[in-house]
A and B are shown apart, each in its own frame.
Chain A
């Protein structure tokens, strides 16, 4: 009784939150094949924890295991499991008990999203959301709790979402499932203290994973928010690290991002919360209840289309082209040793400047590319043709892809300038990491680093020329 009181006091006053050593701990992560689950697994692997990874997507799970398996000192077990299948989860618990013996940490990460007004959310969608986002964690808690109680310790992490607090119109169904798991998890924290089992609830902010890929933008606001997602979202690796640290410190609640805390606090100020939700609803939906008929954003979309149409009328399909040289070195992965010259000289540019500059077009910041490539030990000035995609906003990258042929053999080059941010442009924008493959093969035959050399800048800028295909 005395111990229980001490534990309760510790939890109230946040005492005793020393970091725990996670080396050799057995950690089960659901939805671990990609996104937050995979990144969290990486963190635990780096700390020396052994991993039990589950996911519904078996091929992806295998790939994840291969990537994580580079650290030979840890054990990795994988199970293809549908978290919404109660029987499958119970079988998983039995398999873990038989084959591994125990788990120390359970991370209920698997989840799905949904975007759309409540009245348009079908019963099937509701059922699936509830099955995966609420029943999934509950099944796992029921399946693994007896094991944790028996061993006298354990930790359960439930991944909720900041959406639980934002109350954003068009996220109602998803938000309510995340609110539910958040409440379950928080109450469980207190109920399980007596068994020395910690429960952590994590509220990720918007995370740039495949999670939002299926969310289609019906109107300009939604389209824009999806296009700009990388700018305001958090990277999965960041969230993975935060979850790992929350487990390390045994935190009760991990809000992940200050905006979640703000949204949560707003609910204590009812008038502010009301104004926030109304404003969001007005911006997204306008006076009409249908988000497709958003008043303000509908007008904006019309204006954008009008400018776009006028521009087409004025410029027709006007594109441009610029000459660029990237030079450096490459090394064959097999055979010839040592670094050899690698250089490509290309003209690149879009066919239509209007499409190039329109963020709602497929060709936004995309260019055709044509020129020659020299690969030391393979070819000299071989003609090449491909694409140059300026992925500044979505991936912070510039990607070159082109094909060329040497003695009847076709080759593919994929090069990327990476981690492009305003503060490192002089370096990131001038360095390209490339891989060369025979066409149709996954095997990399050469790796290269090429550079844009500043002495070619003036020539490159001077080469700028408008190209008109048709009026």
Chain B
């Protein structure tokens, strides 16, 4: 492996937060996983939020959602930044007494508390080409630090205690000076008929100097021991992708592979969260971790029919939008 890649992986979880900067900044570490067979999932997010020109309002946020069948339990707690640690030379995040490192997460946000251990033997997955992570553009960066993380422990929601035993998901890290203007993000850690396949993608519209771009799509797929990174600048425009509430279709091609897919979920499987934007204002995140995904893969070097992969309810599907409940019907919490 190249030295640059090794260094990027080693630093994947190091915080990029600079407490002395007033440019505006958010950084979040999140873990998520699905029950091996049931329609159950969790999403836990440790965040630092620092609004532009007001570094004194910087704070830590702890978020948690538990998806149990058709019920969704969201919660959030805010903490003064003095009680938080986001080290940039190792990975040991503390928000109040709640901690997250490379192997464990403990905490309590509102009615939800958790004590989890996890491990992954897979290399970090970079959604962007490596050189983009130190570049000013795009403003928001994202890494799947631990794909195919296997979780053990428990989550309590109110009085209900859920045992977590070998739930498969990921540990992720993202940061930036502002949230991407309008996007859909998706991730599948193992398809029902191809448990070793990992998919991560985003379709987004950016606003550059007041002008909105068309939908831009990038995708990284790990399938049968190979990684397909369809994420260079040229592919942003060549890949196809578009979404609405709550159906997302995409198509990416290279000389090696052709990938077509669809991610969708019922509106009842979404919960709405209000994200403060460091650049000013708020964004609405419509968040589901029990969406479905269908994928058609055609490897050019192989003869025969394209492979059809599916996940009935283990797909992460998030939409970040400015639009309120009247447009999509989802109540925005917090």
Contacts and interface: CB of A to CB of B under 8 A. Distances in A.
A120 B279 CA distance: 80
Report the 4 A-B pairs with minimum CB-CB distance, sorted nearest first. Answer: A338-B103, A327-B89, A339-B102, A341-B90
A424 B4 contact: yes
A191 B92 CA distance: 69
Given A328-B89, A451-B10, A451-B11, A338 B3 contact: no
A376 B90 contact: yes
Interface of B: 2-4, 6-7, 10-11, 87-92, 101-104, 117, 119
B19 to A, nearest CB: 13
Given A338-B101, A338-B104, A430 B7 contact: yes
A451 B90 CA distance: 10
Nearest to A337: B103
A424 B130 CA distance: 14
Given A329-B10, A431-B10, A451 B103 contact: no
A328 B92 contact: no
B137 to A, nearest CB: 20
A339 B4 contact: no
Contacts of A331: 102
Given A329-B90, A424-B3, A337 B11 contact: no
In the complex, which of the residues B6, B7, B87, B89 has the most CB atoms of chain A within 10 Å of its own CB atom?
Answer: B89
A427 interface: yes
Nearest to A339: B102
21 contacts: A328-B10, A328-B90, A329-B102, A337-B104, A337-B117, A338-B102, A338-B103, A338-B104, A339-B90, A339-B102, A340-B90, A341-B87, A419-B3, A424-B3, A424-B4, A427-B6, A427-B7, A431-B6, A431-B7, A451-B89, A453-B88
Given A327-B90, A451-B11, A337 B119 contact: yes
Interface in A434-465: 449, 451, 453
Contacts of B89: 327-328, 341, 343, 451, 453
Contacts of A328: 10, 89-90
Given A328-B90, A339-B91, A451-B10, 16 more contacts: A327-B90, A328-B10, A329-B10, A329-B91, A331-B102, A338-B102, A339-B90, A340-B90, A340-B101, A376-B90, A424-B3, A424-B4, A430-B7, A431-B7, A449-B10, A453-B89
Contacts of A453: 88-89
Interface string A366-406: 00000000001000000000000000000000000000000
A165 interface: no
A431 B3 contact: yes
Contacts of B2: 424
Contacts of A338: 101-104
A341 B7 CA distance: 16
Given A337-B103, A339-B102, A428 B3 contact: yes
Nearest to B92: A341
A198 interface: no
A453 B102 CA distance: 21
A331 B3 CA distance: 20
B87 A339 contact: no
